[in-house]
Amino acid sequence: MDRRNFLKQASSYALLAAGTMAGVSGAFAGTPSSSNGQPDRMSDESKQGGNMEQRSLGGLNVSAIGLGCLPMVGYYGGKYGKKDMIALIRRAYDKGVTFFDTAEVYGPHTSEEWVGEAVAPFRDKIKIGTKFGFGVEEGEPTALNSRPDHIRRAVEGSLKRLRTDHIDLLYQHRVDPNVPIEEVAEVVKELMQEGKVLHWGMSEASARSIRCAHAVCPLSAVQSEYAIWWREPETKIFPTLEELGIGFVPYCPLGRAFLTGAIHEDSTFSRNDRRWNLPQFQPEALKHNMPLVYLVQRWAERKGITPAQFALVWMLSRKSWIAPIPGTTNPDHLDDFLGAGKVRLSAWEIEEFDRDYAKIDLMGHRADPFTESQIDK
């Protein structure tokens, strides 16, 4: 499918979804409107931290915006203190976030340990998503491993590090081509029957794998990279998710900070920054893709919000079953993107944005060759 037809199809999906969402609740409004179409003032209550729209991911209720806890372990360079990151997680909770995303491979183990300690005082009020699927327990953290014995070891380790007796949402981090997905689903079903896992999902899975897994043990959510500049899931898996009633959890929804305007065409990245070898972040691609940043900035100004907020508002407005998990190590950045919880685009604004977007030619793939080789096709 070429880019123009892709956008035509994606826009039709978005218009239908946004039109449906428009009448759900005042919380969905772009600029909240009264019945006569005139802007309403947000109530004092809606402006306060700790009050965020809730969304359902296949029956799992979470805050519309979650917190991704991978950057805290230095994924984009830098070293961050445990005390500061625990404070950041608790700050997110105070502002209404009830959905925290981690994985055994993040650190490895460090992210789960910090999340577990941070949420302990309010564990019963939040949802934790974590993942298995890499050979962390076997000392091979870059190798895929979804063998049944590994899954059980991984889950026991995660429960301990997270200081909990159950995992709210357990993902298979990547599809393992050496283990039938039906076999993986059977193991997870057993873990759910034992009460150790409440819901399960997959990450970077194809529509075929999603269907096969769901037939054995119904999925609540699928996690994949998704952002204004990477929209492949809209045509690859959205129809399947919508048909089966599965929620979608986008990671890197801010385009690894590109969409926020913090990155410029002359930006460079150290080798310990995940972006240094990604095609989208090479000098030529950065320069080529800057028109998208300018488009996001124009729309953000039009809506009276920041570019980071617009990047989230854009996806939250498209489907009611999307709950992005932006990550950060900075309290100010956290406060910024959580501001997206109060604004939505109308169906017609989505269509208008897509027309502008279609005029922009983008360069660069989202993943390096090794990472791409582990993504289910």
pLDDT at 5: 52
Straight-line distance from the first to the last Cα atom of the chain, in angstroms, rounded to the nearest whole number: 16
Tell me if 324 sits within 8 A of 66, measured CB to CB. Answer: yes
75 is catalytic: no
Instruction: Compute φ and ψ for 164, nearest 5 degrees.
Output: -145, 165
Q: Max CA-CA distance within the chain?
A: 62
Q: What is the side-by-side strand order in the sheet with 167-172?
A: 67-68, 99-101, 127-132, 167-172, 197-203, 221-225, 247-251
CA dihedral 172, 209, 10, 244 (to 10 degrees): -90
Amino acid at 298: R
The predicted structure's pLDDT at residue 9: 53
- Active-site residue identified among 75, 76, 93, 106: 106
**What residues form DSSP beta bridges with 227?**
230
Domains belonging to the chain, first-starting first, are 3-373 (3.20.20.100)
pLDDT truncated to tens, each residue of the chain (377 aa)? 454 454 545 554 444 444 444 332 332 233 333 322 323 223 333 333 468 999 999 999 999 999 999 999 999 999 999 999 999 999 999 999 999 999 999 999 999 999 999 999 999 999 999 999 999 989 999 999 999 999 999 999 999 999 999 999 999 999 999 999 999 999 999 999 999 999 999 999 999 999 999 999 999 999 999 999 999 999 999 999 999 999 999 999 999 999 999 999 999 999 999 999 999 999 999 999 999 999 999 999 999 999 999 999 999 999 999 999 999 999 999 999 999 998 999 999 999 999 999 999 999 999 999 999 999 99
* C-alpha–C-alpha distance, residues 143 and 145, integer Å: 6
Alpha-carbon torsion 296, 371, 60, 347, what sign?
positive
Q: How many CA atoms lie within 13 A of 68 on its CB side?
A: 23
Distance from C-alpha of 75 to C-alpha of 72, rounded to nearest angstrom: 7
Contacts of 54 (CB under 8 A, 6+ apart): 61, 62, 63, 64, 98
Query: Which pLDDT score is estimated for 282?
Result: 98
Angle between helices 3-21 and 347-358 (to 10 degrees): 170
